[in-house]
Chains A and B, each alone.
Chain A
Amino acid sequence: MGCNVDSIAEKLAEKQKEISIGEFFERNKHILGFDTLTKSLVTAVKEGVDNSLDACEEADILPDITVKIDEIAYQEYRVVIEDNGPGIVKRKIPDVFGKLLYGSRFHDIRQSRGQQGIGVSAVVMYGQLSTGRPTIVRSKIAEKEYAIEMEITMDTKRNEAEIVSEEVVLWEGKEHGTKFETTIKGLLRSGEHSVFEYLKNTAIVNPHARITFHCDGDTTVFKRATDQLPPPTVAVKPHIEGIELGTFVKMAKESDRRKLGSFLVNEFSRISYRTAREIASKADVDDDTNPSSLTLDECKRILKATSKVKIMAPETDCLSPIRSMLIKKGLKNVLKGYRPEFYSPPTTREPRVYSGNPFQVEVGLVYGGDLPSEGSVRVLRIANRVPLLYKKGGCATTTAIKNIDWRIYGLDQRGGSGMPSGPAIIMIHVASTRVPFTSEAKEAIADIPEVVDEIERGLRECARHLRTHLNREKRRKKISRKFRIVREILPMIAEKSADIVDRDVPPLETVMTKIMGVVYVEKSFDWENGVCRGILDINNYTPKEKELVIYIEKPYPETELLKSSIEPAFDGEYLKWDIESLSSSKGESIEFEFDGGLEKEDVGGLEVYVEGVKETSLIGAETLPDDWGVELAEIEKE
Chain B
Amino acid sequence: MEKRYEEAMDNLARLATQIYEQLGGGEIPEMQVTTRSKSNIEFDQRAGVWKLGDSKTKRSAKKLSGARMILRSLYMMDFIKEMIEANKSSTLREMYYISEGWEKAKFNDQKESDRLAEDMEIITDCLREDFKLRPEEDGARVIGDITIEERTRKGDLRRINCRDDVGDSGYTIPYNVEEDKVNFTDIGVDFMIAIETGGMFDRLVENGFDETANALLVHLKGQPARSTRRFMKRLNEEEGLPLVVFTDGDPWSFRIFASISFGAINSAHLSEHLATPTAEYVGVTASDILNYDLPTDKLKKTDRTALEQELEDPRFNTRFWRDEIETMLEINKKAEQQALAKYGLDYVTDVYLPEKLGEIGVL
- A interface residue numbers (CB < 8 A to B): 481-482, 484-485, 488-490, 492-494, 496-501, 503, 506-508, 510-511, 514-515
Contact = CB atoms under 8 A, between A and B. Distances in A.
A506 B20 contact: yes
B78 A515 contact: no
Given A498-B20, A501-B20, A515 B104 contact: no
A113 to B, nearest CB: 55
Contact of B28 (A481, A506, A514): A514
**Size class of B's contact patch?**
20 to 34
Contacts of A510: 26
B77 interface: yes
Contact of B19 (A497, A508, A514): A497
A211 to B, nearest CB: 49
B37 interface: no
Given A485-B61, A508-B23, A511-B23, A493 B29 contact: yes
A496 B75 CA distance: 7
B28 A500 contact: no
Given A485-B67, A496-B78, A506-B23, 9 more contacts: A481-B64, A484-B64, A489-B71, A492-B105, A493-B19, A493-B70, A508-B23, A511-B23, A511-B27
A493 B75 CA distance: 9
B17 to A, nearest CB: 5
Nearest to A507: B24
Given A485-B61, A488-B104, A494 B23 contact: yes
A496 B64 contact: no
B78 A485 contact: no
B74 A493 contact: yes
B64 A506 contact: no
Interface in B67-94: 67-68, 70-71, 74-75, 77-78, 81
Interface of B: 12-13, 16-17, 19-20, 23-24, 26-29, 61-64, 67-68, 70-71, 74-75, 77-78, 81, 103-105
Most buried by A among B28, B77, B105: B28
Contacts of A500: 12-13, 16, 20, 74, 77-78, 81
B104 A496 contact: no
Contacts of B16: 496-497, 500-501
Given A484-B64, A493-B70, A514 B17 contact: no
A501 B71 CA distance: 15
B350 to A, nearest CB: 61
A503 B20 contact: yes
A493 B23 contact: yes
A489 B13 contact: no
Contacts of B27: 511, 514
Q: Which of A496, A499, A511 counts the most chain B CB atoms within 10 A?
A: A496
Contacts of B64: 481-482, 484-485, 489
A499 B75 CA distance: 10
Contacts of B104: 488-489, 492
A493 B17 contact: no
B277 to A, nearest CB: 38
Contacts of A503: 20
B28 A511 contact: yes
A489 B23 contact: no
A496 B61 contact: no
B71 A499 contact: no
A632 B339 CA distance: 92
Contacts of A514: 26-28, 62
A516 to B, nearest CB: 10
Nearest to B23: A506
Contact of A489 (B20, B24, B61): B61
Contact of B67 (A493, A497, A499, A506): A493
A295 B57 CA distance: 84
Contacts of B29: 493, 511
A496 B12 CA distance: 13
A619 B27 CA distance: 23
Contacts of B62: 485, 514-515
Contact of B103 (A481, A485, A492, A498): A492
A508 B63 CA distance: 16
Contacts of B61: 485, 489-490, 493, 511, 515
Which 4 pairs of residues, A with B, have the shortest CB-CB distance?
A510-B26, A506-B24, A500-B16, A497-B20
Nearest to B103: A492
A489 B81 CA distance: 21
Contacts of A494: 23
Contacts of B68: 489
Contacts of B20: 497-498, 500-501, 503, 506
Nearest to A494: B23
A485 B23 CA distance: 14
Contacts of B78: 496, 499-500
Contact of A501 (B13, B70, B75): B13
* Interface hub of B19, B24, B28, B75 (most chain A Cβ within 10 A): B24
B123 to A, nearest CB: 14
A492 B104 CA distance: 8
Contacts of B28: 511, 514-515
A484 B71 CA distance: 13
